[in-house]
Amino acid sequence: MSDPGLKTDNLRMAGKLVVVAVAMAGFGLAMVPMYRSICEALGVNVLSLSERAVPGNSDATHKNTQVDASRTITVEFDANAHGPWEFKSMRRSIDVHPGELATVMYEFRNVQNRTMTAQAIPSYAPKQASPHFNKLECFCFSEHTLQPGESKQWPVVFVIDPKLPKDVKTITLSYTFFEVAGGKVAAAPKEPSTVKGGS
């Protein structure tokens, strides 16, 4: 005959485990907005002004687009795969004139045997380039769900504002994908290395 006290203890323990599991899942889902808030407060990985603009606001996304052919900026592309997936830029770098429209493709592949939802967080180096790097189209604007083994390619369409400081010759655009479903969040990205500049 089973002990009623033991059954009660088992039910209590099961209830505690359910509460802990729900709390952990909630904490995991809250990590991405918390990460963004902390980074914005510290000035790290801050979204560019165009990413904060209301979609469809053509005045915000198309201003300052006169091409400055007298300057060339090297834009380097970094993709951090902090998790069980593959993520890369199709080009390591390109040279553009301020005000010139440019497009670069990124590829993401879910190598897991489960569906995942993730979102990319961008960062820029040097930091003063961030408000001058205007994205017109970017996969980082929304979350993406990929089935097991599914691959997708996404464009980043951008214009560098001609008001970019003259001493900035190179900009590094870095992305890290964070899983935002299932209570699991990838590790925070490292700050890109110091960018070459000059007068």
Summarised one tens digit per residue, pLDDT across range 165-185 is: 999 999 999 998 888 865 444
CB 80 within 8 A of CB 118: no
> Does any domain span residue 187?
no
Respond yes or no on whether the N-terminal peptide bond of residue 126 is cis (omega within 30° of 0). Answer: yes
Question: How many of the other CB atoms lie within 10 Å of CB of 121?
Answer: 20
CA dist 132 and 107 (Å) reads 25
**Residue 10: in which H helix or E strand, if any?**
helix 4-42
Tens digits of residue pLDDT in 106-146: 999 999 899 988 889 999 999 999 999 999 999 999 998 99
End-to-end CA distance of the chain: 86
> Does any domain span residue 105?
yes
> Does any domain span residue 186?
no
- Radius of gyration of the chain from Cα atoms? 22
Would strands 93-96 and 144-146 be described as parallel, antiparallel, or unpaired? unpaired
Domain count, the chain: 1
> Does any domain span residue 142?
yes
> Does any domain span residue 27?
yes
Which residues form the domain of 86?
A: 4-179
> Does any domain span residue 20?
yes
CB 118 within 8 A of CB 79: no
Q: Which two tokens stand for residue 167?
A: 């001493």
Short-list 119, 124, 99, 164, CA closest to 39: 124
> Does any domain span residue 22?
yes
Residue with the larger pLDDT of the pair 181 and 70:
70
> Does any domain span residue 121?
yes
CA dist 70 and 152 (Å) reads 36
On the 0-12 / 13-18 / 19+ scale of CB atoms within 10 A, 43 is exposed
- The pTM (predicted TM-score) of the whole model is 0.58
Question: CATH number of the domain that 151 lies in?
Answer: 2.60.370.10
